[in-house]
Amino acid sequence: MYRNRNSKKLTFFLLIIILLSIIVFIFSRIIFSDKSQAERAVEKFYEYEQAGMFSESWEMFHPYMQEKFTKGDYIEDRPHVFFNHFGVSSFSFSIDDVDKVKDWFIEDVKEPIALAYEMTVYQRYKGKYGNMTIYQSVYATEVDGEWKILWDYN
């Protein structure tokens, strides 16, 4: 009888460990999926933009984007347009519709990007000319183990 009770406890304990292992596995697959990492990269990019850390956000650009404008131009132009011209005091953003895209082109003259994640970013600005929302398709792809950001120029 004593042996039977111990084997039931052991079986119960093993079932709990197996169940917890399955839950951890599923949870980690969701959290660390490419889709989640791509979305997190875009969130980080716009968090840098919110904080006025344009040097850091420029560093997150894909090399194709870094060819479009130098770091100095971006750091100067980006805040100038939104904060100075529009008189923006703050902005918030949200991300919707994260979808996997294969063989995506940033523009016709560039090589296709084998795998990217497209998402819609809504930026809500509050400024001296009232409130406005800009929405934009933003893409994230992995380059040398880091997630990089692209905008569509087609």
Q: Among 27-36, 75-84, 136-145, which is the least confidently predicted range? A: 27-36
Q: Please determine, for residue 3, whether its predicted confidence score (pLDDT) is greater than 70.
A: no
* Predicted confidence (pLDDT) per residue in 61-98, tens digit: 999 999 999 999 999 998 888 778 778 878 999 999 99
What fold is seen in the domain 33-151?
Answer: Nuclear Transport Factor 2; Chain: A, (3.10.450)
Residue 152 has φ and ψ, to the nearest 5°, of -85, 130
How much of the chain exceeds pLDDT 70, in percent?
88
Beta strands in 18-145 (DSSP E): 88-104, 113-127, 130-143
Q: Please determine, for residue 40, whether its predicted confidence score (pLDDT) is greater than 60.
A: yes
Mean pLDDT computed over every residue of the chain: 87
From CA 107, how far away is CA 103, in angstroms rounded?
12
Residue 62 has φ and ψ, to the nearest 5°, of -65, 150
Identify which of 46, 24, 150 has the alpha carbon closest to the alpha carbon of residue 95. 46
Q: Which helix (H) or strand (E) holds 78?
A: helix 71-79
Identify which of 27, 86, 141 has the alpha carbon closest to the alpha carbon of residue 149. 141
What number is the average pLDDT over the span 115-135? Answer: 93
Q: Delimit the domains of the chain by residue range.
A: 33-151
Position 43 confidence tier, pLDDT thresholds 50, 70, 90:
very high
Q: Which helix (H) or strand (E) holds 149?
A: strand 146-151
Q: Among 4-18, 42-56, 99-113, 139-153, which is the least confidently predicted range? A: 4-18
What number is the average pLDDT over the span 108-125? Answer: 93
Q: Please determine, for residue 100, whether its predicted confidence score (pLDDT) is greater than 90.
A: yes
